[in-house]
Structure 1
């Protein structure tokens, strides 16, 4: 599918509140017709998500330790996760320490997922992911570990107000760029 057709379809799915804010762009190269060039998403005429640019204002993590030490990342811990730590330690660990251990385990898991998602994003082709988005359901796109699929689903008009509001806990565990688009969408409700 040509870029202009793809762009037209993606913009057709944009939420009405975001039509003037969000824009899909591609820098094509005239002599390289088989290459899609650089694709990116702009918000209010600022390049927010560029597949190959790690210098954007969104935080890109380099190590697991950076993610674990980032005060902006809040890792919610459930009662079941605390109980799993209690069972593994056979009840010998103090209660306050159980929460710390459970949060540490979950943050390690979360950090690995974030780094994996970033690595796949830097290698991904926006055109391929956008075509995948157009052929899958919104539920699959929002549940996916692919950052671009998450972003495209969040700005989609098929995501209702109630669903957006009820996703706040789920969004805490997503990459900062996904959280950025979630807040953008939530603020336009």
Structure 2
């Protein structure tokens, strides 16, 4: 798991935000020292309001429920000794909850690492929602690229549409994803 020095990573991340959103978007890491793993939440705020909350506890609960749903739907009994099967079901469940927009703090850090180590073109086409969100608010994306993305954004999740619309409005583009 990517565990950067948050102050350094935040500074780098804020450096990528486009000028029109620089003062409106912020990122926060909230750690719970008394939690068993000392993890907490990663939060993206817009105008000081939480827009995306990536809570480890919420994610872990959703992950366990999704694993049991998979087992129930496929009639798979839990076997503590079948580590390969348990791992595969865990990976499948994790991918499903991420597709639903449920992220843990460690997912945010993993996405951050992917974003920092990829080109902006690759980030824009990423299947990771957080990476795509970060790329939509990136200063390296111009108005023409935003216009080209208008049709493809219509099939994306609501949170990606929100950040796309936020960026378009901030840039003065009248693009509707209706």
Give TM class, smaller chain.
0.5 to 0.7
**1:127-153 CA-partner distances (Å, limit 9, x unpaired):** 121111000011111111111011000
Q: Does 1:132 align with 2:106?
A: no
Matched, 1:17 2:20: yes
Are the structure 2 counterparts of residues 28 and 52 from structure 1 closer, same or farther at C-alpha, using a change threshold of 3 Å? closer
Number of residue equivalences: 130
Match of 1:41 among 33, 41, 44: 44
Which entry has the higher C-alpha Rg, 1 or 2? 1
Does 2:139 match 1:157? yes
Q: Give the TM-score normalised by the residue count of structure 1.
A: 0.62
Q: SS of the residue aligned with 1:122?
A: coil
Other-structure match for 1:122: 103
Residues 2-41 of structure 1, C-alpha deviation per residue, up to 9 Å, x if partnerless?
1111111100100010011100011123467x74421010
For 1:16 and 1:9, the matched residues in 2 are separated by 14
What is the rounded CA distance, in whole Å, between the counterparts of 1:43 and 1:50 in structure 2?
A: 12
Aligned Cα root-mean-square deviation (Å)? 2.7
Q: Which of 163, 178, 186 is the matching residue for 2:160? A: 178
Match of 2:30 in 1: 27
- In the alignment, structure 1 segments of 5+ residues that lack a partner are 56-112
Q: 1-side partners of 2:130 and 2:54: how far apart?
A: 9
Moved beyond 2 Å, runs of 4+: 28-32, 34-37, 113-116, 121-124
| TM-score, normalised relative to structure 2 | 0.65
Q: CA deviation digits over 1:103-146, x for unaligned, max 9?
A: xxxxxxxxxx9976126x43562112111100001111111111
What's 1:97 paired with? none
Q: Which 5+ residue runs of structure 2 have no aligned equivalent?
A: 59-94, 172-178
**Structure 1 residues 116, 6: closer, same or farther in 2, change over 3 A?**
closer
1:93 maps to: none
Q: How many Å separate the matches in 2 of 1:139 and 1:36?
A: 31
